[in-house]
Amino acid sequence: MTKLFPVQSQRDFLLEAVTALARANAEQETAVAGSLLDDCLTSLVLEEMKKTVRFHARAGYRNQGTLLDQALDQVERLLYRHLAWQQDGCPDWNWRQVRETLKQPALCLEALQANLMAANREHPLPEEQRVTEGTEVPFDILVLMDYETEGLVAVPIESEQCHLDLERVQAQEGWVVTGSYFPFEVIAGDFIFVISDAGEIILQTHHFPASLIEQARQILTLLAQCLYTKGQSPFFVATMKSEECQDSYEEWEPDEAVR
């Protein structure tokens, strides 16, 4: 069986869930749908806060306003774009409950953001590496550094068009894929890479010497080039080409002179 998995980030999954539940809640007006909607909406705002922390930690600055306010504003804009086509417009979101639930987590994330920005000023993070050649789906290689964890991460740029081809990875000599579902592990020599359902390939490099980190980066690049695909198997592509040729043959008619 082909091990081909679509990539979907937690943020995209929650956005789809909130959108679907909002429509169901508007049609049925059930308490269960409303409660689940509030939980998913809260989780979506939390994911947005995490994303903002990661971005500002690398950029070295932060926007005005609290982290929670920024995330609430961004999620509200996001939901408006997804639901604005409906005649009834967007539903009345329970922002008060979301704000109350995330008040304490937001303070913890703001403290983490400040620590990461301070650490980045003292020891600037290496620039991210973007790989566009030799791969079906372009990806970035990022360096993770905080007080407890150091690592390398490969992230597909066009996640909505990306699939993970674990069968192709397993076919590589000396590489072993373990696990029946996410998170998968890929053992390549002395390195163990973890693959998340968001398509991230993660390698912890704590206490690695510089020479070993460079070797790990090279293997991570090869693994990402092998893993990321647009989801069309060679058989599917060959079938499509055959059907296109058949269609063009059926549409062709010989000239009168030939007849």
Q: What is the mean pLDDT of the chain?
A: 79
Residue 63 main-chain phi, psi, to 5 deg: -80, 165
**pLDDT of 247 strictly over 50:** no
- Do 225 and 154 share a domain, yes or no? yes
Q: What is the Cα–Cα distance from 225 to 169, expressed in whole angstroms? A: 10
Residue 101: the pLDDT is 95
Residue 159: the pLDDT is 66
Average pLDDT on 25-45 reads: 79
Distances (CA, A) of 221 to 12, 58, 152: 25, 21, 10
Q: Is residue 231 part of a domain?
A: yes
- Do 178 and 134 share a domain, yes or no? yes
What pLDDT, in 10s, does the model give residues 179-224? Answer: 988 899 999 999 999 998 888 999 999 888 888 999 999 999 999 9
Q: Is residue 3 part of a domain?
A: no
Name the domain count of the chain. Answer: 2
Q: Where are the beta strands (DSSP E) in 88-214?
A: 129-131, 139-145, 150-156, 163-165, 175-178, 184-188, 191-195, 201-204
Q: Which of 122, 140, 173 is where one domain is finished?
A: 122
What pLDDT, in 10s, does the model give residues 224-240? Answer: 999 999 876 543 444 33
Residue 58: the pLDDT is 67
What pLDDT, in 10s, does the model give residues 103-156? Answer: 999 999 898 888 877 777 776 656 678 899 999 999 999 887 654 568 899 989
The answer to whether 93 and 79 have CB atoms below 8 angstroms apart is yes
More confident residue, 83 or 124: 83
**Residue 190's domain spans which residues?**
129-235
Helical (H) or strand (E) element with 145? strand 139-145
- Do 115 and 187 share a domain, yes or no? no
- Do 22 and 96 share a domain, yes or no? yes
Residue 133 main-chain phi, psi, to 5 deg: -100, 145
